[in-house]
Structure 1
Amino acid sequence: MTRTVRFGSPKVQDEHGELPARWVSKQQAELMSKAFTREDAGTPEEEDDDVALPALPAGAKNYITPAGWQRMQDELKQLRRVERPKVVEVVSWAAGNGDRSENGDYLYGKKRLREIDRRIRFLGKRLEIAEVVDPDKQTRHDRVFFGATVTYVATSTDKEHTVTIVGADEADTERNRISWLSPVARALLKAEVGDEVAVQTPGGRETLEVLRIRYDKID
């Protein structure tokens, strides 16, 4: 029997960025200072948006692999123990260097500190509701479940695709890892080799035939 899943996956928010090296050189500091003096002076310095978690379907679990859970834990620890103290130190130093409203180092540091704090809260809340599922412990290798690596063919193009089904916070298109809440994953779940499933995409209805199922270790 063909199953149809309609398009409409939850949006995953990610505000994490690299810690800018504004103090690496005098030239970089000067460029940064100029950039921030052009910012809108009306922007509240202490602006602090609430953390918006990605929506989950009613009753859905926030599944995550052990490796994904560990990555989030490591990032949280890095932000709390390394990144945040470093930026706090810079902000404290910059606060004593003249008018704060025209101090690029101070303004930049405060902005970066808010970004770090938002990311810390986001990671903390995501970890609170996470349910770790280890694909290595899956005993049914003949069907598609969370953590499966699935090779399928889109019948309209006769092109093969291989994807690994992971948690919403682990999706990575460059590594062919898709959220278990995505339309394709939802269509594939519980399918067996040889099954045809249907997914409704913006481009129309697509039929996928399952060719292979395996459970690899996810790093």
Structure 2
Amino acid sequence: MSRAFVKEDGPDNAPLPDLPVSPHPNHVTPRGLAQLQARLTEAQARLATLRGRAERLDRLPEAAAERDIRYLEARLRSAILNDPAALPLEEVAFGLCVTVEDENGAETTWQITGEDEASAAEHRIAPQSPLARALLGARVGDEVQWRRPAGTASLTVTRIAAPDGGVEG
């Protein structure tokens, strides 16, 4: 293709807008910090591979990788490391695992983690979530009210543990 038909300053060459960064403090567990660092390393490797392509007319993948790197670097700069292994297991706190029992007797264990580490499928929730807000500060035996779209659920805290398995209750 002739260079005469390539637009040098087109929209695919403009930097992509940055990903939104949460306004909340960026508390992370040791695992969450390691995950952020690994994601940054992967994004940097992806960018290096993209820049090494013989055919680089489409710069959008590079712009996306650069945007991801900016986001991850910002998250790492703002990270506040909290090691749950150092916490007492008397009340629910960031990084700890908490087991709750619902009105039907079903038990579920959740870990309160940083936003970037949160995954409902893996039972890890961010401290800003309604469930985490209901649980933070609770002790074994306490009943908490979880306000959710389907209605309020009453949960009883049955166990507080460190992620490595240390238990209270």
TM-score (norm 1): 0.66
* Corresponding residue for residue 94 of structure 2: 146
Is residue 160 from structure 1 mapped to residue 104 from structure 2 by the alignment? no
Choose which of 194, 198, 202 in structure 1 pairs with 2:141: 194
Aligned 1:98-109 pairs, distance under 5 A? 106-107=57-58
Segments of 4+ moved more than 4 angstroms = none
The alpha-carbon deviation at position 124 of structure 1 amounts to: 0.8
Tell me the percent identity.
32
Q: Distance in 2 between matches of 1:69 and 1:50?
A: 21
Q: 2:140 is paired with a residue of what secondary structure?
A: coil
Q: Distance in 2 between matches of 1:212 and 1:176?
A: 15
Q: Distance in 1 between matches of 2:67 and 2:147?
A: 35
Q: 2:76 is paired with a residue of what secondary structure?
A: helix
* Corresponding residue for residue 71 of structure 1: 35
Aligned 1:31-70 pairs, distance under 5 A? 44-47=11-14, 48-56=16-24, 61-70=25-34
TM-score (norm 2): 0.84
**Runs (5+) with no aligned partner, structure 2:** 1-9
Aligned AA for 1:117? E
Q: Distance in 1 between matches of 2:18 and 2:39?
A: 20
* Corresponding residue for residue 46 of structure 2: 83
Contact 1:164 1:178 (8 Å CA) reproduced: yes
Task: Report the number of matched residues.
Answer: 155
Contact 2:28 2:82 (8 Å CA) reproduced: yes
* Corresponding residue for residue 84 of structure 2: 135
Contact 1:135 1:217 (8 Å CA) reproduced: no
Judge which range, 196-205 or 70-79, deviates more. 70-79
**Runs (5+) with no aligned partner, structure 1:** 1-42, 96-105
Contact 2:134 2:144 (8 Å CA) reproduced: yes
Aligned AA for 1:167? G
Q: Deviations over 1:162-181 (max 9, x none)?
A: 11111111001222111122
Q: 1:204 is paired with a residue of what secondary structure?
A: coil
Q: Distance in 2 between matches of 1:121 and 1:217?
A: 32
Q: Distance in 1 between matches of 2:150 and 2:43?
A: 41
* Corresponding residue for residue 129 of structure 2: 182
Q: 1:113 is paired with a residue of what secondary structure?
A: helix
Q: Deviations over 1:160-211 (max 9, x none)?
A: 1111111111001222111122111111111111100112111111111101
